[in-house]
Amino acid sequence: MGRVLLGAAHTLMQPGEIYKDLREADLTRKFLKFAISHLEKKGIEFKTVPLDLSLLKRIDWINNTGYSQETDDVFIELHVNDGGKRGIENWYSDDPGEDNPSQRFAEFMIDDMCSSLGFTNHGAKSEHDCPLTSLLILNQTKTISIATELLFIDNEEDIAILKDDSKVDNLMKVLVESIAKFFEDIKKIPLKKKAKVIPPKFGKFTKPSTKPGISGGSPFSTKPIPSFNASVPTAKSSGSSNLLMDRDQRKQMIIDTYKKILGDEPKQNDLNYYLNMGISEEELIKKIVDTEDFKKMVKDAKDAIELREKSAQMDTDLAMYKGKATDLQGMLDNLNKVLAHKNLSIQQMQNELINRGVVQKGQYYHPNQV
């Protein structure tokens, strides 16, 4: 049987969709928390993607697990939709086709879940149909990868479900049951697969949206961290019921979080303090953004942005003045051409008058001349 990788989309610093007191990152962590217990009960081998990794680091982490489509391993990135509708929408990698295992997985999951839950089925769609036209988290990972948009963050009926722990727990129970059914289904009808080619290194990618696979939002967001504060492991090995990081993992998390936010390691006193209190990554981020160091970094960043904007305006003004200077030079060149033409015409007329004997050579004709 295949194995499962499960990821909560977005980070606390770049939380995805926000509606009233709800943030997508909080909700996907809540999904993950409940899904873990159901994966354990089902005896399905799984790992959870570490929280708060950037997109490319998340892809690297997934590809370094050893999980792949060759061994029928699947990856699901959990999202919450927006747009005021209701129900579930799935995304799969590449173009549709009978040899696309991602499409088969996405279609199986959404059909089974919506049938079980009575939710509106918005279908499984190719990444090429999304506004970004490409979802790296799907096409750059070695697993059978899909993104699932579970309910809508801005629909009041769906909000009632998202805020009810028992209903979210049931949603994740159905999700895990659908995964188990998918594994049974592919035992009966094996997947048709084409080679999934992953480049050795990533190129430069833009981040224009907060939709699947892309982490948007400002890295300097100082919004509070309300809502659901689930205690979720940063990494999960199958068969283990210990959801807490050990001391060494917690120490590395504190160091990494400081580097990620402040660009430097914590002082030894701070490291010992947070290590001994067993702080979670979410709590640590909240405390760091309240420090003077972080506030100064935000101010410096804002000052840098203002300087860049002023520099850009100066470049614009300079280009405008250069344009005006070019136009004026063109006008001057045209006037010089007109003047040269006038002088030539006068000379030609003078020569004609001399030839006709109207004036003598060296004399110039005047209209009042008798």
145-174, pLDDT tens digit by residue? Answer: 999 999 999 999 999 999 999 999 999 999
3-state secondary structure of 111: helix
Among 231, 266, 290, the domain boundary falls at: 290
Q: How many domains, the chain?
A: 2
Residue with the larger pLDDT of the pair 221 and 368: 368
Asked if residues 67 and 143 have their Cβ atoms less than 8 Å apart, the reply is: yes
DSSP string, 53-108: --HHHHHHHHHTS---GGGT-EEEEEEEE-SS--SEEEEESSS--TT-HHHHHHHH
Range of the domain at 266: 247-290
Asked whether residue 236 is domain-assigned, the answer is no
Residue 264 has pLDDT above 70, yes or no: yes
Asked whether residue 56 is domain-assigned, the answer is yes
Most confident stretch, 41-55, 109-123, 207-221, 284-298: 109-123
Tell me which residue of 149, 182, 192, 151 sits closest to 4, measured CA to CA: 182
Residue 50: band (very low, low, confident or very high) from pLDDT cuts 50, 70, 90: confident
Asked whether residue 179 falls in the same domain as residue 264, the answer is no
Residue 78: band (very low, low, confident or very high) from pLDDT cuts 50, 70, 90: very high
Helix, strand, coil abundance in the chain, percent, nearest 5 = 50, 10, 40
CATH code for position 12: 3.40.630.40
Asked whether residue 132 falls in the same domain as residue 262, the answer is no
Asked whether residue 254 falls in the same domain as residue 152, the answer is no
- Predicted structure pTM score: 0.60
Arithmetic mean of pLDDT over the chain: 82
pLDDT value of residue 324: 83
Asked whether residue 119 falls in the same domain as residue 257, the answer is no
Beta pairing, strands 121-126 & 88-92: parallel
Asked whether residue 16 falls in the same domain as residue 159, the answer is yes
Tell me which residue of 299, 285, 254, 236 sits closest to 49, measured CA to CA: 236
Residue 328 has pLDDT above 90, yes or no: no
Residue with the larger pLDDT of the pair 366 and 244: 366
199-224, pLDDT tens digit by residue? Answer: 555 443 333 344 444 433 322 233 33
Asked whether residue 29 falls in the same domain as residue 138, the answer is yes
Residue 274 has pLDDT above 70, yes or no: yes
Cα–Cα dist 49/42, whole Å: 19
